[in-house]
Structure 1
Amino acid sequence: MRAWLRDTAGGLSATYWYLWTGLLINKVGGFAILFLSLYLTSQRGAGTAQAGLIVGTYGIGGLAGTLAGGVLTDRWGRRRTLLASHFGTVAALVALALSSELVLIAVLCTLLGVAQSMAGPAFVAAIIDVTPAENRSRAFNLQFWALNLGLAGASLLAGLLAQWSYLGLFLIDATCTLVTGLLIAWKVPETLRRPVTITRAGFGTVLKDRIFLVFVALTLIQALIYTQSQTIVPLAMHADGLSPSAYGSVVALGGALIVLGQLFVPRLIDGRRKHRVLALALLVDGLGFGLLVVADHLAVYLLAAVIWTVGSMLAAPPNAEINSELAPLALRGRYQAVFFLTFPAASFLAPALGGAGLEFLGDAHWLVVGALGAAAAGLHLWAGPPRERRAAAIRADTSVTADLR
């Protein structure tokens, strides 16, 4: 057991562990958004359509905040951006708890989306800064595990707190965010090392990087496939006459698998070519969702959930590791911002495209999803070698820059 713990967590700096602890605390307490639509309809008198629009403003703010976070991460530094994000989130959550006018709540939701999403690029950039390349797979694997453990905890606590007090739900979320901000202020130093040559490059440079954009596009496809589990699968289960509690069982099983099994993933994939691991992960994802073409009982949905969850578990570490490798030192924040945009984009596109697919294609929709996974697997195998050559060149350049200091 000790050897396994050493292999899983060894070689990671104290700064990494403070960042990891802050992420876990923040995610366990991050339940306000989970119940925001219910809060608006039950406590603030909003109609269903109004609640949807107001919650949508959070996503709009998230897009803007992700881009702003990328720029600030490179200009201000990681620490300042993280502090601004967390303390801004605290202010927005407290204001939301005390607000009753729907227009004001919509404005505050937008600001909350901006503040919360700013942290993403800075958080990942800081991990890259303090973690040697050979340890990043473990670092990102543990980050993914903490994220899912925190979300599982938040989901359990949110239901209990909502029955007790929505005001308490927002304020406890704010308190957890404040604790994370104070931990960062106390223990996390600035990790940005200024490059020898100051660059004026910006998002234009990122958007001209074809190798990186191909990787981002493949990540978007992966996100579109996996997001089916949160958006279209519940509709398919309802059409099959299964209850909401049955879908809850599917979600709970996936979360339990990640919490129990993610820490063992590095032993399975360490030393293997990352593009091959991603190709396998996309094939497994496609197989899991493709299985739904014959699903009409809960047992088949549960089996499919096991398969697609394994795919997501395999994909998480190499996905994050490749993202870190392709980002030049001077533009790490901007590269992270563009990468992070894939997730809100998938949150919008998956229900729109998936809903149309399920309506017009019926069960054949899942064959399309499975074929998409197979196509993405093939594209990873094609794009992998040039991607690895680019990553090696960036590592060499970063090493030379460090030596010149």
Structure 2
Amino acid sequence: MTGGAVLRPEPLPRTVRLLLLARVVNQLGAFSLPFLTALICTDYGASLTTAGLVSAVFGLATIPSRLAGGGLADRIGPRTTIVLGLCGCAVAQLAIAASSSLTCAVAGAVVLGLAFELYEPPSQAIIGGSVPEPQRVRAFSLFSAALAAGGMGAGLLAALLGRWDLRWLFVSDAASCLACALLIGLALPRDRPAPPAVKQDDTAVRPLRDRRLLGVLATGTAYALINQQTVMTLPLALARQGLPAADAGLLFTAAAATTVLAQPLIRLPWTSRLTTPAALALAHLLLAAGLAGYALSRTLPTLLASAAVWSLGDLLVMGRVYALVTDLAPPGGSGRYLAVFGTSWGIAATLAPLLGTQLLAGAGTTTLWSTMAALCLLLAALHLRVTPQSPSLCNGAGPVRRRVSGAA
């Protein structure tokens, strides 16, 4: 057939594409954190409870880190903030790798937490401010896919290095952070901080008074708590089942590959027509199915299949929720809104290792994953009742596409 018309998405801005590339580079070494608890247990003989407390301290430190990232992006610029955060992470990762005692490892974990989230608010604000509203779901989904693309290599690297020495995972992560910082510093445009009048705009600094944002923050924190269980507790859970903890790297790779390969699902007409509450409800049903698979699986192949199902739900969540928060923010306030919403990850990173290690030690892997699956079902119902629709979609905007004539 000739003379047909093909619909293609508008290309993303160069700045966003460079940011996606930099994140791939960073993510290639970014699977040390899930093995922090395993390192503490194996190298220092610490108990599960102690390992959970150390991870909780790390998570607690990420909360001021996320808020500082939003504030610094406004004051010194997003590029400088991103580079500062990445270099801080590299220093902390190397300190953990070189630590000779549990005290030194804990100190490194605290420094890592304080630097860990500086990157996120400015990078998300760059994406949200660089693309039109109808393209934000796609842009944030691609950001998630960029993490997954780097994660495929990272998961294999973790499986390889983890069998040799877990400390090399932290060295690899530090190297990827420095490479990403170099790429960001050379490729992104020079910072142009907003003038003082804009910085002091009262409408941009009141995210905690926005009830819509607080509702999204509550459900987002619950989701992040579940997500962090699949990151922080998974290596320990595999060990409890008699499988190598390093096999978590293979599960991370399967999830990452699914996220990359499933990107076309975001652009399907029926998924783009879903309201934000309906899309998030569907996502949590998929998350529940994947976690139920974790609860029932006893072999690596079935665990890999469960990881793939889980990642489909994760893909739907990441694109929609960050686009929603960006749309809720007033002009000039996206960095602060994203920073406040991002504290959900710090809260979850604090609570997840405590909850996960206690459930794992007291009730076992089946109860751990079954509890998380039940929480996903509850969140699916809550999204249909309390989650606001994205303003850009309420205004009737559809996906922005360009029409290209061609022959088929």
TM-score computed with the length of structure 2 as normaliser: 0.77
For residue 214 of structure 1, what is the aligned residue in structure 2?
215
Distance 1:168 1:247 in 2: 16
CA shift at 1:205, angstroms? 2.1
CA shift at 1:154, angstroms? 1.6
CA shift at 1:27, angstroms? 0.8
For residue 146 of structure 1, what is the aligned residue in structure 2?
146
Query: Does the 8 Å contact 1:195/1:329 carry over to 2?
Result: no
Query: Does the 8 Å contact 2:69/2:117 carry over to 1?
Result: yes
Distance 1:237 1:102 in 2: 23
Q: Percent identity?
A: 30
Report Cα offsets for 1:132-189 as digits up to 9, x if no partner.
2122122111111111222231222234345667776555433322222122222212
SS of aligned partner of 2:262: helix
Change over 3 Å in CA distance of 1:287–1:100 after alignment to 2:
closer
Query: Does the 8 Å contact 1:325/1:391 carry over to 2?
Result: no
Change over 3 Å in CA distance of 1:357–1:16 after alignment to 2:
same
Change over 3 Å in CA distance of 1:391–1:118 after alignment to 2:
farther
SS of aligned partner of 2:84: helix
Higher helix share: 1
The letter for the 1-side match of 2:224 is A
Q: Counterparts of 1:54-69 in structure 2 under 5 Å?
A: 54-69=54-69
Q: Residue 338 of structure 1: which of 326, 337, 340 is its match?
A: 340
Q: Counterparts of 1:3-402 in structure 2 under 5 Å?
A: 7=8, 10-37=10-37, 46-49=44-47, 54-100=54-100, 102-161=102-161, 170-189=170-189, 190=191, 193-194=194-195, 197-199=198-200, 201=202, 205-230=206-231, 243-244=243-244, 248=248, 251-267=252-268, 269-290=271-292, 304-350=306-352, 352-353=354-355, 369-384=372-387, 386-389=388-391
The letter for the 1-side match of 2:220 is T
Structure 2 stretches of 5 or more lacking a match?
A: 398-408
CA shift at 1:286, angstroms? 3.0
The letter for the 2-side match of 1:131 is V
Distance 2:139 2:213 in 1: 21
Query: Does the 8 Å contact 1:194/1:330 carry over to 2?
Result: no
Distance 1:155 1:261 in 2: 18
Query: Does the 8 Å contact 2:224/2:344 carry over to 1?
Result: yes
Q: Which moved more, 1:128-137 or 1:257-266?
A: 257-266
The letter for the 1-side match of 2:128 is I
Distance 1:262 1:272 in 2: 16
Change over 3 Å in CA distance of 1:202–1:156 after alignment to 2:
farther
Report Cα offsets for 1:178-234 as digits up to 9, x if no partner.
222122222212366558644264997222211101011112222334445456777
Distance 1:350 1:92 in 2: 21
Q: Which moved more, 1:26-35 or 1:68-77?
A: 26-35
Change over 3 Å in CA distance of 1:215–1:195 after alignment to 2:
farther
Change over 3 Å in CA distance of 1:353–1:57 after alignment to 2:
closer
Q: Which moved more, 1:21-30 or 1:185-194?
A: 185-194
Distance 2:167 2:373 in 1: 43
Report Cα offsets for 1:55-105 as digits up to 9, x if no partner.
554333322211211221223221221121123333334455555454344
The letter for the 1-side match of 2:29 is G
Change over 3 Å in CA distance of 1:216–1:301 after alignment to 2:
same
Distance 1:99 1:364 in 2: 34
SS of aligned partner of 1:285: helix
Query: Does the 8 Å contact 1:141/1:263 carry over to 2?
Result: no
Distance 1:27 1:353 in 2: 26
Change over 3 Å in CA distance of 1:363–1:196 after alignment to 2:
same
Query: Does the 8 Å contact 1:11/1:135 carry over to 2?
Result: no
Change over 3 Å in CA distance of 1:166–1:230 after alignment to 2:
closer
Query: Does the 8 Å contact 2:60/2:347 carry over to 1?
Result: no
Report Cα offsets for 1:324-360 as digits up to 9, x if no partner.
2122333322222222222232344345556667857
Change over 3 Å in CA distance of 1:234–1:112 after alignment to 2:
closer
TM-score computed with the length of structure 1 as normaliser: 0.77
Query: Does the 8 Å contact 1:29/1:154 carry over to 2?
Result: yes
Change over 3 Å in CA distance of 1:380–1:98 after alignment to 2:
closer
For residue 401 of structure 1, what is the aligned residue in structure 2?
none
SS of aligned partner of 2:332: helix
SS of aligned partner of 1:81: helix
The letter for the 2-side match of 1:199 is Q
The letter for the 1-side match of 2:256 is G
Q: Which moved more, 1:82-91 or 1:166-175?
A: 166-175
Change over 3 Å in CA distance of 1:159–1:295 after alignment to 2:
closer
Distance 2:17 2:82 in 1: 15
